[in-house]
Copies of this chain bind each other. A is one copy, B any other.
Amino acid sequence: MRESVPPESRPYHHGDLRRALVEAACRLLEREGAAALSLRGVAREAGVSPAAPYHHFKDKSELLDAVAHEGWEKLAIAFQAAREAHTSAHERVRELGVAYVGFARLHPDLYRLMYDCSRDKADMPAHVHEDENSAYRRVKDVLISAGADPGDEVGLELATIACWCTAHGLAEMTSFKQFDPLKEALGGEEAFLRGVLDHVAVFAKGL
């Protein structure tokens, strides 16, 4: 396979169409939104015939899976940055929540796609939940570093899930505009986030 594509008229064989399709889909997702994301549209954006994607993806949902996969990796990067900001123990947990919600607000359609794909498979992908350096593991690590008992397997698991649930719920809620006045009163989006998160024990006290 070829690595790069000639700048002028594309050759018959693309080179790395799979990658190009995923990137085209990401672009369309940001530009036009999730409702306007069609397989034909992605092929169009990539400059290829409507049936071409079927040589790289079984069907539309498999392409969306690949886009979602990229999303989870971007989220892990956002987590990395948040964890590297050293503050107090309980603030570290809370700021992880802020970073999470920030990512969701920055890429709302991608964020929703990530969960739609997971839900359809009734499972979070392993690289999100189980793997070393998975997003889930990172939350757990921060909880431990914030004082949670690593010996209490069940309790730690529950606390991690509680963190994730709250952050996920907040990520979806904060886009509703009836909260705007409250945000205004508190001095902006992030202050609002911290205000809500501080009402949740796991975020406020690190379990």
Contact = CB atoms under 8 A, between A and B. Distances in A.
Interface stretch (A20-28, A51-59, A63-71, A160-168): A160-168
5 contacts: A115-B172, A119-B172, A161-B179, A165-B170, A165-B196
A176 interface: yes
A169 B165 contact: yes
Contact of A178 (B123, B170, B176, B207): B123
B182 A157 contact: yes
Interface string A61-89: 00000000000000000000000000000
Contacts of A176: 118-119, 122-124
Interface of A: 115, 118-119, 122-124, 129-130, 154, 157-159, 161-162, 164-170, 172-173, 175-179, 182, 185-186, 195-202, 204, 207
A175 B115 CA distance: 11
Given A176-B124, A186-B154, A200 B169 contact: no
A123 B175 CA distance: 8
**Interface of A, helix, strand, loop or mixed by DSSP:** helix
Nearest to A159: B199
A185 to B, nearest CB: 6
List of 10 A-B pairs having minimum Cβ-Cβ separation, nearest first: A169-B169, A165-B169, A201-B201, A162-B199, A168-B169, A165-B170, A166-B166, A158-B195, A162-B196, A122-B177
